[in-house]
């Protein structure tokens, strides 16, 4: 499975459905139906969820822009700046997304996966790493505990 590092605004756009293609300078080894885990970079610094690959296409930049302009969630100047110096680019088309019930922070990743460093662009995960990430992502968020002694003190004050 692939772990992609994505700027937080673009990661959010993937999960709110406005970004249907992830643009890349280099093509990772992906095929239709592969699942990709999304790591939102700093300041979020957490895994937010995953998406399924519809297709991956590598093409010249003008063609890629024409096919992706309405679903890439980037402006033409952002597109051009990102692909500066290249003649071709890669589009990873997204068919389905799954936002995890709990995001997995970089701190939690480092506690559970010794030596974990988020990738600059992407990296492949082992089966064991995927299992650990899925376990962390499925944990329920626990509400903060109330200060019991403070609650009791307030109740005593109110009863006076």
Q: How many CB atoms lie within 10 A of CB 41?
A: 17
Domain boundaries in the chain?
Answer: 2-159
**Rounded CA gap, 134 and 104, in Å?**
9
CB 49, CB 38: distance < 8 Å = yes
**Rounded CA gap, 133 and 135, in Å?**
5
Give 37-70 pLDDT, tens digit per residue: 999 999 999 999 999 999 999 999 999 999 999 9
Select the CATH number that applies to the domain covering 2-159 from these four: 2.40.10.220, 2.30.130.30, 3.30.70.100, 1.10.10.10: 2.30.130.30
In which order are the strands placed within the sheet that holds 2-6?
A: 21-24, 88-105, 46-60, 35-40, 2-6, 122-124
The pLDDT value given to residue 143: 46
| Residue segments in the chain with a per-residue pLDDT below the cut of 70 | 140-160
Q: What is the pTM of this model?
A: 0.84
The pLDDT value given to residue 139: 83
């Amino acid at each position: 499975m692939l772990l992609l590092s994505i700027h937080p605004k673009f990661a959010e756009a993937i999960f709110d459905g406005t970004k249907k293609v992830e643009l890349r300078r280099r093509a990772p080894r992906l095929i239709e139906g592969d699942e990709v885990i999304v790591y939102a970079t700093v300041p979020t610094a957490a895994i937010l969820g995953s998406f399924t690959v519809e297709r991956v296409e590598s093409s010249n930049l003008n063609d890629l822009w024409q096919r992706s302009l309405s679903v890439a969630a980037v402006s033409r100047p952002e597109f051009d700046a990102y692909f500066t110096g290249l003649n071709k680019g890669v589009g990873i088309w997204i068919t389905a997304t799954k936002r995890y019930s709990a995001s997995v922070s970089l701190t939690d990743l480092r506690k559970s996966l010794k030596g974990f460093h988020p990738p600059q662009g992407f990296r492949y995960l082992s089966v064991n790493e995927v299992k650990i990430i899925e376990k962390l992502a499925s944990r329920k968020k626990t509400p903060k505990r109330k200060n019991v002694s403070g609650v009791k003190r307030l109740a005593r004050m109110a009863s006076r």
